[in-house]
Chains A and B, each alone.
Chain A
Amino acid sequence: MQALEQGVAVERNGQIVRRQDWPYCVMEPNDVIEVVRLVGGG
C-alpha cells in the first residue's frame, strides 16, 4: 500500500483507510480492498 502514489484512496471492507494509517494497515486474508483514483470527467 505504501507504494501507491498520490491520487488514490483506499477502502478496506467498506471503510476508508486514512492515508496516514497506510503504513500500519495489516491485511487479513478475507479483506475486501477497493482502490480508486482520479480520471478525467465532467
Chain B
Amino acid sequence: MSANIPADSDLVLGDFRFQSRLFLGTGKYASYELMRDALELAGTQCVTVAIRRLPENEPAGERFLDYLDTDRYVLLPNTAGCFDAESAIRTARLAREMLDTPLIKLEVLGDQKTLLPEPVDTLRATETLVQEGFTVLVYTSDDVMQAKRLQEAGATAVMPAGSPIGSGQGILNPINLRLILEQATVPILVDAGVGQASDVSIAMELGADGVLLNTAVAAADNPLRMARAVSLACQAGRDSFLAGRMAKRLYASASSPQTGVLGSPQPVEAGA
C-alpha cells in the first residue's frame, strides 16, 4: 500500500504549462554534450537561450541548436546583455521572429559590474512588449515595489534575483522575497544567484513558483551531479512548501511519550 499525496498543479506561464518548476540556462558549459546531458538530468522543460550577432565568416562546425531537443524543451529567449529598453525590445522582436514564440525573458541591465537590473528601462520595456503581445517573464532585483510595478504592467511572471547574476551567493534577502510572494498575483520565479542545490530549496520553500539557474550547474566541479541535485532540491523545496511548515517554538517539545519512562516514579495505585 502506498500513501497518496495530491498531485501538484502545473506552472502556467501564458499559453505554456510546465510540470517541472526548474528552468535552466544553456550558457557556460564546457561542451554542448555536457549541456545536453545536464539539461536531461535536471528534468527541466524550459531552457533559456541568448540572441547574438552571427559572426562574419564563421567556420562551419557544431551548432548549439543541434544539441537542444526542441520537441522536449520550450526555448525561452532572453535579452541578456541589453543595457537599455530599446536594445531589449529589439532583441525580443528578433527572438520572436526567429523562434515564433511570444515568450521572452526580459533583462535590462544597469551596469557591467553588478549586472543588476535597471528599473526604469525594465518597466518601460515591459510595458512595450506586453502591448505587443509578448509573454514577458521579467528579471528584476528583489525590490518589492518594483516587482509590484512589473506585475501591474502586465508581466506574465516576475523574476527577482536571489543575488547578482552568476555570483552564486544564494538568496540574500529572504524577507524581501517573502514580501514579493505575499503580494504576487503572477508567478514568481527566482532568477540568478543560485550557487548550490540548497539555494533552490530555500527559494521553493519560501513559496517561489519556480527557479531559474545556469552557472550553479555549468560551473560546478561535476555539472551532471549538480544538475540532479538542483532537480531534487526543487522538488523537495516545493513539497516542503506545500506540506506546510510546523510552528517554531521557544522551548523543546519531546517527540517520545513522557509517561512510563524507566526510573520515573511509579503511578500511585487507586485505593492505596
Chain A residues within 8 Å of B, Cβ to Cβ: 5-9, 11, 16, 18-19, 34-42
Q: Which A residues touch B214, using CB under 8 A?
A: 41-42
Count chain B CB atoms within 10 A of each CB in A5, A18, A19, A37 and give the residue with the most. Answer: A37
Q: Which A residues touch B91, using CB under 8 A?
A: 36
B187 at the interface (CB under 8 A from A): no
**Contact sample, A vs B, 9 pairs, CB 8 Å cutoff:** A9-B94, A11-B94, A36-B51, A36-B98, A38-B98, A39-B27, A39-B51, A40-B25, A40-B28
Q: Which B residues touch A6, using CB under 8 A?
A: 65
Q: Which B residues touch A39, using CB under 8 A?
A: 27, 49-52, 64
The reply to whether B26 and A41 contact each other, CB–CB distance below 8 Å, is: yes
Q: Which A residues touch B73, using CB under 8 A?
A: none
When A7-B63, A7-B65, A8-B54 are in contact, do A38 and B49 touch as well, CB less than 8 Å?
yes
When A7-B98, A36-B98 are in contact, do A42 and B26 touch as well, CB less than 8 Å?
yes
CA distance A34 to B98 in the complex (A): 13
Chain B residues within 8 Å of A, Cβ to Cβ: 25-29, 35, 48-54, 63-65, 75, 77-78, 80, 91, 93-95, 97-99, 165-166, 212-215
Counting residue pairs across A and B whose Cβ atoms lie within 8 Å, the total is: 80
The reply to whether B27 and A42 contact each other, CB–CB distance below 8 Å, is: yes
CA distance A42 to B191 in the complex (A): 9
Known: A7-B63, A38-B75, A39-B51. 7 other contacts (CB 8 A): A8-B98, A36-B52, A36-B94, A36-B98, A37-B52, A39-B49, A42-B27
> What's the nearest-Cβ distance from chain A to residue B233, in Å?
18
In the complex, residue of chain A having the shortest beta-carbon distance to the beta carbon of B79: A41
Q: Interface residues of A: mostly helix, strand, loop or mixed?
A: strand
The reply to whether B25 and A36 contact each other, CB–CB distance below 8 Å, is: no
CA distance A9 to B53 in the complex (A): 10
In the complex, residue of chain A having the shortest beta-carbon distance to the beta carbon of B215: A42
In the complex, residue of chain B having the shortest beta-carbon distance to the beta carbon of A38: B49
CA distance A6 to B98 in the complex (A): 8
The reply to whether A40 and B51 contact each other, CB–CB distance below 8 Å, is: no
When A36-B53, A41-B27, A41-B78 are in contact, do A16 and B35 touch as well, CB less than 8 Å?
no
CA distance A19 to B34 in the complex (A): 32
The reply to whether A40 and B54 contact each other, CB–CB distance below 8 Å, is: no
> What's the nearest-Cβ distance from chain A to residue B96, in Å?
9
When A18-B97, A37-B51 are in contact, do A42 and B78 touch as well, CB less than 8 Å?
yes
When A11-B94, A16-B94 are in contact, do A41 and B49 touch as well, CB less than 8 Å?
yes
> What's the nearest-Cβ distance from chain A to residue B76, in Å?
10
The reply to whether B94 and A40 contact each other, CB–CB distance below 8 Å, is: no
CA distance A40 to B27 in the complex (A): 4
The reply to whether A42 and B52 contact each other, CB–CB distance below 8 Å, is: no
Q: Which A residues touch B78, using CB under 8 A?
A: 41-42
Q: Which A residues touch B25, using CB under 8 A?
A: 40-42
When A7-B63, A7-B65 are in contact, do A38 and B97 touch as well, CB less than 8 Å?
no
Q: Which A residues touch B77, using CB under 8 A?
A: 38
